[in-house]
Amino acid sequence: MKKVSIVSNKIENMSFPMKMKSDSKGFTLIEVMIVVALIGILAALAYPSFRDSIRKSRRGDAQQGLMEIAQKLENFYARNATYTTDLTQIGYTNVGWNNVTAGSSTVYYQVRVFPVTAGCALANCFLLETQSMGDQVNDPVSRFTLSSTGAKQLTKNGVTKNGWK
């Protein structure tokens, strides 16, 4: 019995060098690695949603651009009794496709005026159409149209629907 007590005394008196002091400050490497991994996972989940939100907001810029051009075409019609496909006549830089930037230097949409051929001459009708550019080509909504009658359409995943919603 006495042997057992000597051995237990020795074990109790041993000091272990790996034992942390209670007044130590900071984080262990494993704690930092866990936090970094969690941040990475959250970022991987949030980033695609963020990109989709940005693309949706740019759709609003395209719609606003179409409405602005339609208003300028109506003003042109009031002065000249005809519409035009030459957007330089209403203050834009190109005859064909014109950029919709909405205050940014980056182009996400281009707009063009087409004459409506189905029973309505250009003198009386027009059709505005957008074309996606840059990062917007990855957006499922690829095209918006606006006619002189106010009819709106969008093309989403290759399917054209009435309205912009």
Residue 133 located in a structural domain: yes
Residue 14 located in a structural domain: no
Structure letter (DSSP) for residue 90: G
Residue 158 located in a structural domain: yes
Q: List C-alpha distances in Å: 51 to 11, 54, 102, 138, 152.
A: 61, 5, 18, 10, 25
Residue 12 located in a structural domain: no
Residue 144 located in a structural domain: yes
Residue 16 located in a structural domain: no
Residue 87 located in a structural domain: yes
CB 151 within 8 A of CB 160: no
Amino acid letter, residue 122: L
Q: Residue 94: which domain range?
A: 30-162
- Does residue 162 register a pLDDT over 70? yes
22 token code pair: 């209670």
Question: Angle at the Cα of 138 (from 132 to 142), degrees rounded to 5?
Answer: 40
Q: 3-class DSSP state for residue 79?
A: helix
pLDDT at residue 108 in the model = 83
pLDDT in tens, 49-106: 998 898 888 888 889 889 999 999 999 989 988 888 888 888 887 655 666 665 667 7
Residue 70 located in a structural domain: yes
pTM of the complete model: 0.68
- Does residue 41 register a pLDDT over 90? yes
Domain count, the chain: 1
Q: Cα–Cα distance between 49 and 47 in angstroms, integer?
A: 5
